[in-house]
């Protein structure tokens, strides 16, 4: 049923790559459906037993929030991925200028995504340009719009500090080096899991975990076809789709705009312009504003956009309110309890 809906959507608008992902999706979904979830649900609970090394992740957390990471000592990962914003950013685009007052170095012209449950994503970034966290991390260090430094310079800054030398000795028994700093940051990324949302408890069999509004919202989410794109463990995050399937959302431009180019950035194929990785919706309540450019300020506004442009439907205010209640049931505290 869902596969049919998706095929219909793809006939309208998926790029060839999305079609591949969509084909993979229908098989992958069957294969990866958790035995714990009630049969037929398009969303699966997150595993509760994601493995990570706690002391190493703690060291990674300290690095993540340290401005020593950047060349000028003014920007950390937390400048754009903040706990108070669901490990995302309240600014529409995460410009370094906005993050740290560095007008000479604009940041990525994109809304910073949440880092919760990033270990389960099939591709990283709105464009899906990266396959795995280690290569992605290397790119952040070197990217002049992000940390603008080198691993060697970063390690030298840490090694100059008695506190950091002590912190590394406590975990590794030795001083900071590139491999150890990388491992700690990556372990922290792996530790950012939120497996105990009310919706996970519902999927594991606790019918009372959802309010009547949230349960009704979930019914709309399925019946209207939101779950043909936002599905799986992350309620998204496992395929690419065009923004503006039923009618154009971003104006077609001769030259793709920085930020709006989407999957084109990774493939260079014209048909991938305005195609984005479908975002996961876990903890979405915390990560306003929405869309790749941060142009939708509230959940209500982005749900309206989705209904009109992705589904060609309209929703009543009551249905929108109930879908918001459902989306809020996807919010959970991080398991590591330590961002």
Tell me how long the chain is.
339
Among the listed residues 302, 266, 328, 249, the one whose alpha carbon sits nearest the alpha carbon of residue 17: 266
Nearer to ligand HEC, 167 or 284 (CB): 284
Residues 6+ apart with CB under 8 A from 212: none
Buried/exposed code over 286-306 (b: 16+ C-beta within 10 A; e: otherwise): bbbbbbbbbbbeebebbbbbb
Which element (helix H / strand E) includes 24?
helix 16-32
User: CB 145 → ligand HEC: shortest distance, Å?
Assistant: 7
Q: Which two tokens stand for residue 106?
A: 């604009």
Tell me how many degrees the CA angle 313-211-216 measures, rounded to the nearest 5: 25
Nearer to ligand HEC, 16 or 205 (CB): 16
Omega prior to 7 cis, within 30 of 0:
no
CA atoms 207, 87, 260, 275: torsion sign: negative
Rounded Cα distance between 75 and 62, Å, is 14
Residues at the contact surface with ligand HEC, assessed by CB under 6 A: 9, 69, 75, 77, 79-81, 94, 96, 99, 107-108, 110, 112-113, 115, 118, 121, 124-127, 136-137, 140, 146-147, 185, 189, 221, 224-226, 228-230, 241, 243, 245, 276, 278-279, 281, 284, 287, 290-292, 299, 302-303, 306-307, 310-311, 323
Nearer to ligand HEC, 137 or 171 (CB): 137
Nearer to ligand HEC, 7 or 34 (CB): 7
Answer for the pair 262, 326: CB distance below 8 angstroms, yes or no: no
User: CB 33 → ligand HEC: shortest distance, Å?
Assistant: 20
Rounded Cα distance between 229 and 14, Å, is 11
User: CB 42 → ligand HEC: shortest distance, Å?
Assistant: 12
Q: Which two tokens stand for residue 339?
A: 């961002």
Nearer to ligand HEC, 21 or 228 (CB): 228
User: CB 38 → ligand HEC: shortest distance, Å?
Assistant: 21
Nearer to ligand HEC, 5 or 36 (CB): 5
User: CB 22 → ligand HEC: shortest distance, Å?
Assistant: 10
User: CB 79 → ligand HEC: shortest distance, Å?
Assistant: 5
């Amino acid at each position: 049923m869902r596969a049919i809906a998706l095929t219909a959507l793809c006939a309208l608008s998926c790029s060839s790559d999305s079609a591949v992902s969509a084909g993979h999706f229908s098989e992958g979904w069957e294969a990866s459906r958790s035995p714990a979830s009630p049969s037929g649900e398009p969303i699966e609970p997150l595993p509760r037993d994601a493995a990570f090394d706690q002391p190493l992740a703690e060291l990674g957390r300290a690095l993540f929030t340290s401005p020593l990471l950047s060349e000028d000592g003014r920007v950390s990962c937390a400048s754009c991925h903040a706990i108070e914003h669901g490990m995302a950013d309240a600014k529409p685009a995460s410009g370094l200028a906005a993050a740290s007052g560095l007008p000479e170095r604009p940041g990525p012209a994109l809304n910073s995504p949440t880092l919760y449950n990033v270990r389960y994503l099939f591709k990283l970034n709105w464009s899906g340009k990266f396959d795995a966290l280690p290569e992605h991390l290397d790119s952040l260090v070197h990217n002049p719009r992000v940390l603008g430094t080198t691993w060697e310079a970063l390690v030298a800054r840490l090694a100059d500090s008695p506190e950091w030398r002590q912190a590394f000795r406590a975990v590794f028994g030795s001083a900071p080096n590139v491999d150890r700093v990388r491992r700690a940051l990556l372990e922290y990324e792996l530790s950012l899991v939120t497996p105990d949302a009310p919706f996970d408890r519902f999927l594991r069999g606790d019918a009372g975990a959802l309010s009547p509004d949230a349960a009704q919202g979930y019914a709309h989410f399925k019946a209207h076809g939101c779950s043909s794109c936002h599905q799986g463990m992350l309620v998204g995050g496992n395929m690419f789709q065009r923004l503006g399937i039923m009618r154009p959302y971003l104006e077609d431009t001769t030259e793709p705009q920085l930020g709006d180019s989407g999957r084109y950035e990774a493939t260079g194929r014209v048909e991938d312009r305005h195609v984005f990785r479908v975002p996961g919706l876990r903890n979405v309540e915390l990560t306003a504003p929405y869309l790749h450019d941060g142009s939708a300020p509230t959940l209500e506004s982005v749900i309206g956009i989705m209904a009109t442009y992705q589904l060609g439907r309209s929703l009543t205010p009551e249905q929108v309110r109930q879908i918001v209640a459902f989306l809020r049931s996807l919010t959970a505290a991080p398991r590591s309890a330590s961002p």
